[in-house]
Structure 1
Amino acid sequence: MLTHITEIRVRYADTDKMQFVYNGKYLEYFEVGRTELLRSTGLPYSEVEKKGYQLPLIEAGLKYYQPAVYDDVLEIHATVKELHSPKVHIEYVVKRKGTNDLIAEGFTTHMFIRTDTKKAVRPPKDYVTALEPFFKKNN
């Protein structure tokens, strides 16, 4: 299992008329958490694309527990639990920094595709190699 925590400060532009973070922003926060998780392994998403792969979103889910508001600092906990699957399933927990406040939980599922053919493929060796050490630490 691999987990990375990314901090995000809620911007005024992220909030709605109720002064809560707009519900659709959480998928953007998940994206930030996901890209930073990949970067933490030494394989940023830009490198995945340079090697001829993409990771389109094929499924997403989200559950809200309490609102976040302007200027809150949120921790986005992004976790990959499985390595050798053709799909990449990432789970997210959003907490208010410095508290036990659970703001939201969710997941995204992605599929590796070749950039040139747009056909689904198994995760490339570079990806598996970059992530394997993190999974061995937990065994």
Structure 2
Amino acid sequence: MKDHSHISSIRVRYADTDKMGIVYNGNYLTYFEIGRTELLRSMGLPYSKLEEQGIQFPVIEAHVEYKVPAHYDEILDIRATCSLKKGLLLHIAYEITRGTTLLTTGYTIHPFIGIRTGKPMRPPAFFMDIWESRESEHFIHKEIRL
């Protein structure tokens, strides 16, 4: 199974920065969420559709590596790349860049959870149909979110 990628762009808000004038470290997880949400939306799998189908994707693991700080008013690209691990977990890797400079990398891991049961489940058929229909595509999009 191939990985699927999406690139979203954001502008750093003043509220995202700390007293040192750089993006507060916890906000990178919010940026990861933006990347993840837009990646799934670009695949035809917005969270609202998944929830209507009785599925949730909680974060069970998150990892962030800070390389270079970001600052107020900069435009950042968030590249989110999704893969299925062991056929049961979504692994989403992230790269946040400013132009050609790599600022932050990381990943999150998400199980498929049934809303009614609260228990892990296999990816449902509708999800796999969409996933497999995208395998032959070079799946990168760019969207500006200012």
Superposition TM-score, scaled by structure 1 size: 0.93
* Structure 2 unaligned spans of 5+: 139-146
Q: Distance in 1 between matches of 2:40 and 2:85?
A: 13
Q: Kindly indicate whether structure 1 or structure 2 has the higher relative contact order, using CA contacts under 8 Å at least 6 residues apart.
A: 2
Written as runs of structure 1 = structure 2, the 5 A alignment for 1:98-113 is 99-113=99-113
Matches within 5 A, 1:20-35: 20-35=22-37
Q: How many residues align?
A: 136
- The residue that corresponds to 1:51 in the other structure is 53
CA contact (8 A) 2:92 2:108 kept: yes
> Residue 79 of structure 1 aligns with which residue?
81
TM-score, normalising length: structure 2: 0.89
Q: 2: CA distance between counterparts of 1:129 and 1:41? A: 11
Conserved? CA contact 1:9–1:71, under 8 Å: yes
Aligned to 1:120: 120
Counterpart AA for 1:12: Y
Amino acid at match of 1:49: E
RMSD of aligned residue pairs (Cα, Å): 1.3
Change (3 A) 1:28 1:13: same
Offset, 1:84? 6.2
Amino acid at match of 2:119: K
Alpha-carbon offset, residue 67 of structure 1: 0.3
Partner of 1:136: 136
Deviations 1:74-131 (A, max 9, x none): 10000013376201000000001xx211000000000111101100001111111112
Of 4, 9, 16, the match for 2:11: 9
Partner of 2:142: none
CA deviation after TM superposition for structure 1 residue 132, in Å: 1.2
**Counterpart secondary structure, 1:104:** strand
- Alpha-carbon offset, residue 37 of structure 1: 0.4
Task: Give, in angstroms, the shift of residue 133 of structure 1.
Answer: 2.3
Query: Is there any run of 5+ residues in structure 1 with no aligned partner, and where?
Result: none
Contact 2:83 2:90 in 1 (8 A): no
